[in-house]
Amino acid sequence: MNSLPLVSVVIPTYNSERTLAKCLESIKNQIYKNVEAIVVDNYSKDKTVEIAKRYGAKIIKKKCNKPEARNIGILILKGDYILLLDSDMMLEKEVVEEGVAKFYNEGCDALFINEEYLDDGFLKKCRNLEKIVYRENPIIEAPRFYKKSLALKTFFDDRNEGPDEYDFYISLQSRFSLKESRINSKLILLEPPINLKKKFHHGKFFMYYRRKHKNKAIPSKQINFHYRIKILLRAFRISPLHFFRIIFHKISRLYSFFIRNHLWLF
């Protein structure tokens, strides 16, 4: 019988065949082996479920959005800790081992994981620089690794398909004093560095999220252009060329957000 704590990785999916195998392969290749993968699938029409079966994942098929899928996973998982992944993410092989050690040795409640895009193309270098300057900023980042006992006390809001991870994090912060830390190993992003369709979809939920947390300054700061620019000036000092490409990306995102919500953000 395995005496090591079990870690449950919850992955919502819908037509995720392009990246799911890489995601599950990275879980299989973890140095820390006591891990279960839970795939909550929204009735995919491609080979998503077939791929999940091939990797021995626990599969739940349910008509649901992403936050609902997270909640389903939280309710059925058997682990002591929960790691929230998307199907277009991979883990470096040390992530789970390092995370469990942090929980055990430091008594943490939640862990941040550094994120990085996979390839070395120009656009991905720009986004990776952006990820670097956002690290350790409590307005921008949200943890992905939690104690199960904590996650069971605050579920995801199924009405918020936009900033759902941060909504979950703020809800926890408002109820509990969280001890947080950071994993040095990385979470690798497989999604394109620019995905305006995704941002456009997420944008339509942001005003609900903002109203929900109207007594908190964080949601307003998250979309404040001047606040973001102030942070991104760090990127300019590192690489002016990549900085201007990040600014173009931000303007594109703000335009998508404006069109979706019919308001100015400046």
Reading the chain (266 residues) residue by residue, the pLDDT tens digits are 468 999 999 999 999 999 999 999 999 999 999 999 999 999 999 999 999 999 999 999 999 999 999 999 999 999 999 999 999 999 999 999 999 999 999 999 999 999 888 867 776 777 767 777 667 776 778 999 999 999 999 999 999 988 899 999 999 988 999 999 999 999 999 987 667 677 777 778 888 888 888 777 566 666 566 666 666 666 666 666 555 555 555 555 554 455 455 443 33
The pLDDT assigned to 236 comes to: 63
Distance, CA of 181 to CA of 25 (rounded, Å): 26
Contact 196, 94 (CB under 8 A): no
Q: Could you tell me the domains of the chain?
A: 7-261 (3.90.550.10)
Q: Which two tokens stand for residue 132?
A: 């670097």
Nearest of 133, 128, 176, 127 to residue 151 by alpha carbon: 176
The pLDDT assigned to 262 comes to: 45
The reported pTM is 0.83
Of all helices (H) and strands (E), which one includes residue 89? strand 89-91
Contact 190, 85 (CB under 8 A): no
The pLDDT assigned to 204 comes to: 80
Distance, CA of 154 to CA of 143 (rounded, Å): 14
The SS3 assignment for 34 reads: coil
Distance, CA of 171 to CA of 187 (rounded, Å): 24
The SS3 assignment for 24 reads: helix
- DSSP letter for each residue of 116-175: EESS-SHHHHHHHHHHHHHTT-TTT----EEEHHHHTTS---TT--SSHHHHHHHHHHHH
The pLDDT assigned to 217 comes to: 59
The pLDDT assigned to 137 comes to: 72
Distance, CA of 246 to CA of 241 (rounded, Å): 9
How many residues are recorded in the chain?
A: 266
Q: Which two tokens stand for residue 49?
A: 């479920």
Contact 29, 93 (CB under 8 A): yes
